Amino acid sequence: AVVSTQSGHYGRVCQLLEPKVLIKCRQNDIKLVNKVLAKSKEQYVALSKLDVEMKVDDRDFLPQDIAGGVELSSRQGKLKVVNTLEVRLEQIVNQKVPEVRSKLYGHNPNRRFFD
C-alpha cells in the first residue's frame, strides 16, 4: 500500500488547511493509518502552525482493489484531496504525455498547447 511506505500524508493535509480532516483508506490499511496518524499530525502542526483534528473513517473505506493510499476530506466532504496510487499515476501520465508525444513524433511548430 502507498501509505505503508509514506509515514507522512500530512503533506496532503496541508493542501486542505482545515481544522478537521477525515481520512479514508482501505479497510486492511486502517491499522497502519492509525499507527502513523499521531506522527502525521505532529508534523502537520509543526509545518502549518495550525492545530488539526484528524480522524480515520471506520465506516466508509476506499475500494479493496486499489493499490493503496488515502483520501482526505473536510467540511462534510466538500473539500477533498485524493492521494491514491492510481490518482498519482494518472497525474504523472498527464504530465508526461507532451514529452512522450514530442519524442515519438518530434517537435510540431503548429502546436500551441503542450498538455
Q: Identify the pLDDT of residue 71.
A: 94
Residue 49 has pLDDT above 60, yes or no: yes
DSSP string, 71-110: EEEETTTTEEEEEEHHHHHHHHHHHHHHHHHHHHH---TT
pLDDT of residue 69: 92
- Please answer whether residues 58 and 27 qualify as being in contact, where contact means their C-beta atoms are separated by less than 8 angstroms: no
Q: Are 35 and 54 in contact, with CB atoms under 8 Å apart? A: no
Residues 13, 21 contacting (CB under 8 angstroms): yes
Instruction: Check residue 8 and give its pLDDT.
Output: 45
How many other CB atoms are there within 10 angstroms of residue 75's CB atom? 12
Question: For the segment 56-114, what is each residue's pLDDT rounded down to a tens digit?
Answer: 999 999 999 999 999 999 998 888 989 999 998 998 888 888 888 888 888 888 877 66
